[in-house]
Amino acid sequence: MANPLILREGDPPRLVELRRPVADALAAAGVVQVALTDRPGWWEVTPGTQIGVVSVAGLQVVIEPKIDINRLVFLMGYARRPDFWRDDRVLLDADADLPEALADAFVRLARRALEQGLLKGYVTVDETLAVLRGRVREADQLRRRWGRSIPLEVRYDEFTVDIAENQVLLAAVERLLRTPRVGVRHRAGLQRLRLQLGDVTAPGRGGVRPSWTPSRLNARYVPALELAELVLAGHSFEQRVGELVVSGYLFNMATIFEDFVTVALREAFRPFGGRSRLQYRTHLDEAETVPVRPDFVWSAAGVPRVVVDAKYKAEKPAGFPQADLYQMLAYCIRLGLPVGHLVYAKGYEVAREHLVQNAGVRIIAHTLDLDADPDVLLKVLTSLAGWMRQAVGKPAEGISREE
């Protein structure tokens, strides 16, 4: 296979020589922007906010994050379970690309989890049997077997390895085995894990992921399970474009940033009481035909007092270069708040304050340094939450309480 094309998310366009079908396939997949140049066979390839790897016609395109991989994993993990990801709990190889680093760490943690054998637990099984086991499901028996005594519709508890924890590990193994850029060394380790999990039912692709809860019984599994959840959070896809098949494994930095900031703010506002809402659903107009959904709203005594939108980078659609400000102004007017907050990743926007004319609304843009250590990052957001609370003004008249 040819050398990979290595890009870095958010970087300016890069001149790359590509065959026309390959360029069309990459453009159709929507992973990078591809533009034709005056030079035949050469294209301008511009990475966006997605990171990971894409493979097409023997070419692998690797899109690296701007931040350290371990910091990236912390952001993803904290947004999912803040009580576990308080620092760099899982260390990845910072010199490897993302899929390879995830595979390396996952194999290591999963082996450690399975050293004492597979975890077992009780699961409830509904089955049709010729003999009684457990108890009869009377409603099903009457509906399906009216007038017949056998077979029986029964329900029983079975002590088995086919439990949610093992199913999650197996799902992560299968995902990594399908992922480009996972090398032979890691594939061998993943295959061994798959053999160990041979009696476990693999969740169907695209199906509902099994849920699990940390406990004393599964404590040795927790680090591997947490990393497995992050592996499964990546977007794995395969699509045909003309005669070519494009496959990839990607994460969206904008989504990672938004999830982290909103969850971290929710944790930071806990000491103040009130109620924090993520993806707050409401409507801009009285007829409720224009839905709006701020990323984060904190309410006190049932009244919205703080509104925040997390933006990895400023959105600047054609004709609306200040779209973020218009959006926040709409939120403030709808919620009756004199102050609205935008939180950007440092380097994509500058911290500043805007006083909207004739509206009495301040929109404050904050920036967050994602290269900071996890404890520093969380302290910054805790301080920011305290400052936001102090900056709360009196709600406008007529603003209703939350439903």
DSSP run (H or E) holding 158: strand 152-160
Residues 6+ apart with CB under 8 A from 229: 80, 168
DSSP-derived letter for residue 66 is S
Q: List, for residues 59-108, the tens digit of each pLDDT value.
A: 999 999 999 888 998 999 999 888 887 655 677 777 788 888 899 999 99
Q: Are 354 and 325 in contact (CB under 8 A)?
A: yes
Determine, yes or no, domain membership for 7. Answer: yes
- Range from 67-76, 302-311, 321-330 that averages highest in pLDDT: 302-311
CATH at 332: 3.40.1350.10
Q: What is the average pLDDT value for the chain, to the nearest integer?
A: 87
171 falls within a domain: no
First to last CA, the chain: 58
Taking the C-alpha atoms of residue 218 and residue 285, their distance in angstroms, rounded to an integer, is: 49
pTM of the model: 0.84
* Two structure tokens written together for 155: 């329900």
- The confidence score (pLDDT) of residue 398 equals 40
Q: Report if residue 255 sits inside a domain.
A: no
Give the torsion sign (CA, 80, 85, 87, 91).
negative
Q: What is the 3-state secondary structure (H, E, C) of 173-212?
A: HHHHHCCCCCCHHHHHHHHHHHHHCCCCCCCCCCCCCCCC
Residue 363, helix vs strand vs coil: strand
Are residues 45 and 127 located together in one domain of the fold? no
Which residue type does 118 have? Answer: L
Looking at the structure, tell me whether residues 130 and 56 fall in a common domain: no
> How many domains does the structure of the chain reveal?
3
Same domain, 283 and 368: yes
**Is a pLDDT exceeding 70 seen at residue 1?**
no
Both tokens of 293, joined, read: 């959904």
Distance, CA of 314 to CA of 310 (rounded, Å): 10
Q: Rounded to an integer, what distance in angstroms lies between the CA atom of residue 169 and that of residue 223?
A: 11
Inform me whether the pLDDT recorded for 396 exceeds 60. no
Residue at a domain's end among 133, 160, 187: 160
Across the range 233-245, mean pLDDT stands at: 85
Q: Judge if 278 and 337 occupy the same domain.
A: yes
Q: What is the pLDDT of residues 33-52, one digit of tens each?
A: 999 899 999 999 999 889 99
Instruction: Give the model's confidence band at 319: pLDDT under 50 very low, under 70 low, under 90 confident, else very high.
Output: low
Domain end, chosen from 160, 188, 213, is at 160
Q: What percent of the chain has pLDDT over 70?
A: 93
Adjacent-strand bridge partners of 346: 349
Region 310-320: mean pLDDT is 76
Please check whether residues 386 and 281 belong to one and the same domain: yes
Q: Spell out the alpha helix ranges (H) of 270-309.
A: none
d(CA 90, CA 72) in angstroms, rounded, equals 11
Is the residue at 244 inside a domain?
yes
What is residue 345's predicted lDDT score, i.e. its pLDDT? 93
**One domain, residues 297 and 330:** yes
Tokens 């350290």, residue located: 68
Does residue 185 belong to any structural domain of this protein? no
In a domain, 204, yes or no: no
In terms of Cα–Cα distance, which of 195, 294, 312, 179 is closest to 247? 179
Examine the domain organization and report whether 292 and 345 are in the same domain: yes
CA distance linking residue 343 with residue 383, whole number of Å:
14
Cβ atoms of 269 and 385 within 8 Å: the answer is yes
303 in the same domain as 243: no
Residues 279 and 368 placed together within one structural domain of the fold: yes
Quick one: 298 and 339 in the same domain? Answer: yes
pLDDT, position 399: 43
Residue 147 has pLDDT above 80, yes or no: no
Mean pLDDT of the 289-316 span = 92
Q: Considering the domain boundaries, does residue 28 fall inside one?
A: yes
Strands ordered across the beta sheet of 59-64: 5-8, 59-64, 50-56, 244-252, 235-241
By residue range, what is the domain housing residue 145? 121-160
Residue 176 confidence (pLDDT) = 93
Quick one: how many helices (H) and strands (E) in the chain? 10, 19
Judge contact between 265 and 308, C-beta under 8 A.
Answer: yes
Helix (H, G, I), strand (E, B) or coil at 385: helix
Cα dihedral sign, 155-157-161-165? positive
